[in-house]
Amino acid sequence: MLCVLLPVSLAYAEKWHFPDVERIVAVGDVHGAYDGLIATLQGAGVIDDKLAWSGGKTHLVFTGDLLDRGAKSRDVMDLVMRLEKEALRDGGRVHLVLGNHEVMNLTGDLRYVANAEYIAFLDMEKRKERRRWYKRFKNGTPEDMDESTVLSQFNKKAPPGFFGHRRAFRHDGIYGKWLLEKPFIVVVNETAFVHGGLPAFVAEYGLEGPNVTLKQHLNEYVVTRDYLADNDVMSPIDRFKEIPKMFAGLANAGQIPDEYLDEVQTAIDLSESPLHWGAGPTWYRGTAMCNQLVEGDALNRVFRRIGASRVAMGHTPTVTRVVQQRMNGQVVEIDTGMLKSNYKGSGNALVIEGDALSVVNEDGRKDLSPIDHPLRVGHESLAISDAAMADILANGSIADTNSGGATWRIVTVTKGEHTVSAYFRELQGAEEGVILELAAYRLDRLLGLDMIPATVRRVIGDRQGIMQFIPEDAITELHRVASGRGKEMYCSREKQVAVMHVFDALINNQGRTPLSMLYSPDDWLLILIGHDTSFSTEVERPEYLRDIELTVGDQWRAALAKLDDDTLRTALGGVLDDARLAALARRRDALINKE
């Protein structure tokens, strides 16, 4: 469901654009880590030792997820609310864009609220209110259930402070009213700030899409939910994900009074809004997870639509737990896992002054800069760089584990504290100057495709061969489909496959099958293997691509244009012969010139 966009006046739209700001400080997911936040803000010079605003005209941006998981979420919100007022008095601003956890608390999706967070709202919980909802809860339990069991189940669903928490997050509650005024995206100078990422929804509708339409969805849902609870049609205990099924069952049983049927249907319809799933800006991870060839064109369409050239975002904790950048600095990832008990990270603030980006951390270091997003094809969760993985494969000690197949066999490779699985294939004499899998790997890295795992030459005893990393938990596309896994990939499967098609057309890969498409379930990013039938001297597309429309956008053309003949000869001359290099160049030119 998607409501029709309302007209937005220029004056209203300007609430989301803030030009000519001299200094910006941005902080990612806090998750109740109050102490880490205080140290980070003091390090960035926006609050003093008395926790008062000291940032002058600085714009301080929070990219959502102030709350959930951490015990001091209420303290964090109180601090941000106070700093908003103090900053305005000094000519500065504090911006909060909504994250998925703010939305979840507003809509009753309370999966990640810690009991300590509920306890912080005991002062707002009324005994009469708790007794009311306990009575309703008890009436819905089996008659033969003893009182102690009923009470235990009730307290598990509604810990002490629960109803104070729910009161505070109503549409007219102290935090609910405050949060419902916040946007999903703001643009300060030319940097967009958002929680999850910038999906196609924003390219299509601009800032009005999230900041008007999705806000309408959110406001209407919260108001409707509060109305239904006030009239005893539902309970604050009823969780967001359970409500559509619950209401459908009650409606089928004729247990919803006619005067509330419209509101019940509204709640069901609004539960399907992009607000709550990966197409919306609070959940979208494509900006953080997809590589530039997959996501770059889509991101640039968003930038053109909203008047930005860079995005800073949270939601996806950086694997290094420091501020990272990708896509040539167009994307800055600032969720560094501030809540140590859950994420083992620390507080970091991104500082933007003119064209300069720097980082301040909670330990007081101010000489830091965003680091490049590490390349880890097939091993995103391992603290091993692509270069380190190649070194392990080339120089680690080897043990056979099983035969693996007629051509490749699986081995384990150990160097230092790291042990990985890999495929080894012995080279035949005729292959000495033409090593197709190694050529595919090198070309992948030249393009920035980042889909082929680390591949190196390796000698085992008297056997010349190639070694290729393979994740132990990798599953093939064939197995993924059969098992039903990976249906909601963070980086769209359709986008990844479209990029694979262009690459296969470039290398004339005749052998692509679902068995040569792998995924590691820790990130569901596509991993390509099996290029032994690639790099022919033909220019025509592989048979499997003859009827597929290739998507060759600006990012692909820019990457291909960098592959001039000298670059190809230098990088691939030792693994492809002249005839294959010439054919590769002709296919490159055909793709660049594709209409």
271: helix, strand or coil:
coil
Q: Where are the beta strands (DSSP E) in 427-573?
A: 455-460, 463-469, 475-476, 517-519, 526-528
- Whether residue 250 contacts residue 260, with contact meaning beta carbons closer than 8 Å, is answered with no
Sheet containing strand 455-460, strands side by side: 397-402, 409-415, 418-426, 463-469, 455-460
In terms of Cα–Cα distance, which of 138, 100, 124, 59 is closest to 349?
A: 59
What angle is formed at CA 97 by the lines to CA 96 and CA 103, rounded to 5 degrees?
115
| φ and ψ at residue 418, rounded to 5 degrees | -110, 130
- The answer to whether 279 and 201 have CB atoms below 8 angstroms apart is yes
Residue 334: which of 310, 302, 363 has the closest Cα? Answer: 310
Read off the DSSP letter of residue 361: E
The catalytic residue among 31, 101, 171, 195 is 101
Instruction: Quickly tell me which residue has 């970091």 as its tokens.
Output: 348
The dihedral of CA 119, 120, 121, 125: what is its sign? positive
Q: Which two tokens stand for residue 265?
A: 């249907």
**What is the SS3 assignment for 33?**
coil
Reduce the secondary structure of 301-357 to three states and give it as a string.
HHHHHHCCCEEEECCCCCCCCCCEEECCCCEEECCCCCCHHHHCCCCEEEEEECCEE
Closest-CA residue to 352 (of 546, 484, 191, 538): 191
**Is 101 marked active-site?**
yes
One-letter identity of residue 168? A
3-state SS class at 186: strand
DSSP string across 366-424: --B-PEEPPP-TT-TTSS--HHHHHHHHHHSEEEEEE--SSS-EEEEEEETTEEEEEEE
Instruction: Establish how many alpha carbons lie within 13 A of residue 545's alpha carbon, considering only the half-sphere containing its beta carbon.
Output: 23
The closest alpha carbon to 226, from 238, 214, 212, belongs to: 238
167-170-174-177 Cα dihedral, nearest 10 degrees: 180
Q: CB–CB of 541/505 below 8 Å?
A: yes
Residue closest to 84 by CA, chosen among 106, 44, 56, 53: 53
Q: Which residues are catalytic?
A: 101
